[in-house]
Amino acid sequence: MKILINDGIHPDGKLLLEEAGFELSMEKVPQDELAKELPAYDAVVIRSATKIRKDLIDQCPKLKVIARGGVGLDNIDVEYARSKDIAVINTPTASSQSVAELALAHMLTLSRSLHLSNSHMPHRGNSEFKTLKKAYSGGSELKGKTMGIIGFGSIGQTITQMGLALGMKVLPVDLKIDQATLQFNLYDQGRVGVFAEVYTVPMEELLEDSDYITLHVPFSGGKPILGGEEMAKMKKGVCIINTARGGAVDEAALLKGLESGQIGGAGLDVFENEPTPRQELLEHDRVSVSPHIGASTAEAQRNIGLELADQLISLLVD
């Protein structure tokens, strides 16, 4: 069987697929050429860069599996594919630790103005050390603050554990999950474990009480999850973190909130107009930015590759 690896896969995942006897094509096919090339393949492995829509699916009668490395499936017409008996798989837990750590990194950065310190110290630290020290001495601790978590799946539960470990109050919101039992292994090999029952809350409570709000839900267009109406209900000075999807936060409303002081800061890994984000956000003093790297760690990429390979082997090998 032939598999098109269109957006790459970790070498360990590639090795598993080769050992299982699959014929792999690792050369990326541009989006506008997929209709010509994909019909020759039994499965395709993609990330967010490749779109598999209804018209393309209709041209691929051999296709048995669409595999998405990562969490979101917004670039695939999932229900239509499944109606054609094509399996659609992804890796919802493989990058949870990496994405959660990045969200937390943005919180820590904003709480101590590290994005500004790291920008100014190389150029002014030698001559204006005391001035910079005074400018950035007004930070705050995360301990004792309240973190609102929109989306209480694998990533949301992972950052909940991090927040609780730091002494934060957590307010998770989820449309499907009412509660989760979280396990904390305090030492290597699980010699000491602590369990916590965490319950979700209404969105109104999250908006009104959170000092930090972090998003961990899929978004495929339509009305933003956090727009001007939601921001108006938030605690003044709240920080918003988006490592989920561009468009989940209304960027025009966010800029307005930043200028008014209603929003105290934002940590953004994803943007509405990728790969050309708004310059006003990139340059804003109270915005910490990164270039969509939530799952881009060595550990996450290996986990994704291995999980995809295991699922493909399970589905395609008799």
Task: Report, as residue numbers or ranges, the catalytic residues.
Answer: 245, 274, 292
Rounded Cα distance between 287 and 269, Å, is 10
Q: What is the 3-state secondary structure (H, E, C) of 242-266?
A: ECCCCCCECHHHHHHHHHHCCEEEE
Q: Which residues contact 71 (CB under 8 A, 6 or more apart)?
A: 90, 91, 92, 95, 99, 155, 218, 295
Which three-class secondary structure string do you get for the chain?
CEEEECCCCCHHHHHHHHHCCCEEECCCCCHHHHHHHHHHCCEEEECCCCCECHHHHCCCCCCCEEEECCCCCCCECHHHHHHCCCEEEECCCCCHHHHHHHHHHHHHHHHHCHHHHHHHHHHHCCCCHHHHHHHCCCCCCCCCCEEEEECCCHHHHHHHHHHHHCCCEEEEECCCCCEEEEEEECCHHHCCEEEEEEECCCHHHHHHHCCEEEECCCCCCCCCCECHHHHHHCCCCEEEEECCCCCCECHHHHHHHHHHCCEEEEEECCCCCCCCCCHHHHHCCCEEECCCCCCCCHHHHHHHHHHHHHHHHHHHCC
Nearest to 71 by CA among 279, 269, 216, 260: 216
